[in-house]
Structure 1
Amino acid sequence: MARPHPTHSLRGALIVGATIAAIAFILFVICGGLANAHDAEPTSVLPQGWSYPFACCANYDCRQATGEMKEEPDGYHTPSGEVIPYSDKRIKLSPDGEFHWCAHQAGLDAGKTICLFVPDRGT
């Protein structure tokens, strides 16, 4: 049985390696890096916006939800129908005074809450 010429194997390995590196680079650029969170939209309070903590999102899980959250006696009611008790550790103070909801599949209004940023009520 004939063996492949050593330069053919090396050339093939280089092509495969370069292709994998190019795909990895493209995915990194598209995703904006692995350790970055995304930014909240600017508001009158914070015209420059602010960044959601990475622990709360992975580049797409958070969005402003002013007017969608309901404050009821048992806690905050999310667009997905989930109730987050007022004592829940997922509740964070909102830097811009608006509601922001971070949930798996938040864009679908069907997700499970990761973090909920709420306005300061002075309590």
Structure 2
Amino acid sequence: MRGLFLLFAGLSTTAFAHDAPSGWQYPTSCCSNLDCRQVAQTAVSERPQGFIIRATGEVLPYADRRVRISPDGEYHWCSAEGKAYGKTICLFVPPRAY
């Protein structure tokens, strides 16, 4: 019985597929258990026309509905089927300082 309790206690602190490494949950509109992941700051660049996804060269204008504020201040990229060359579903970016 004690072992079963420890198993369930351990599961309660584990991040699930829809969860970012820091624990917040990716919206289902962006992720279907494999599409989203945290990426290095160097994976995304900012240009006057918007955010550039380095892996694909895709440009997301700043006002694009796929661009969202990252709850943990890190970049997170959700691409079709989680592929490195997939089309962007959502991009979570750190909030801008004022």
TM-score, reference length from structure 2: 0.75
Mapping 1:84-123, distance limit 5 Å:
84-106=60-82, 108-122=83-97
Quick check: 1:65 aligned with 2:45?
A: no
Q: If each structure's helix is expressed as a fraction of its own residues, which one has the higher value?
A: 1
* Moved >4 Å (runs of 4+): none
1:25-72 per-position Cα deviation (integer Å, ceiling 9, x unaligned): xxxxxxxxxxx9611112xxxxxx111001101000001112211111
Equivalent position SS for 1:105: helix
State how far apart, in whole Å, the 2-side matches of 1:97 and 1:66 are.
12
> For the aligned residues, what is the CA RMSD?
1.7
SS at match of 2:68: strand
Q: How far apart, CA to CA, are the structure 2 residues paired with 1:37 and 1:91?
A: 21
User: What is the distance in 1 between the residues matched to 2:18 and 2:73?
Assistant: 18
Unaligned 5+ segments in structure 2 are 1-15
Secondary structure class of the residue paired with 2:37:
strand
What TM-score, normalized by structure 1, do the two folds share? Answer: 0.61
| Number of equivalent positions | 81
The structure whose Rg is larger is 1
For residue 105 of structure 1, report the CA deviation from its aligned partner: 3.1
Q: Which runs of 5+ in 1 are unaligned?
A: 1-35, 43-48
Larger RCO: Structure 1 or Structure 2 (Cα < 8 Å, ≥ 6 residues apart)?
2
Percent identity (aligned): 53
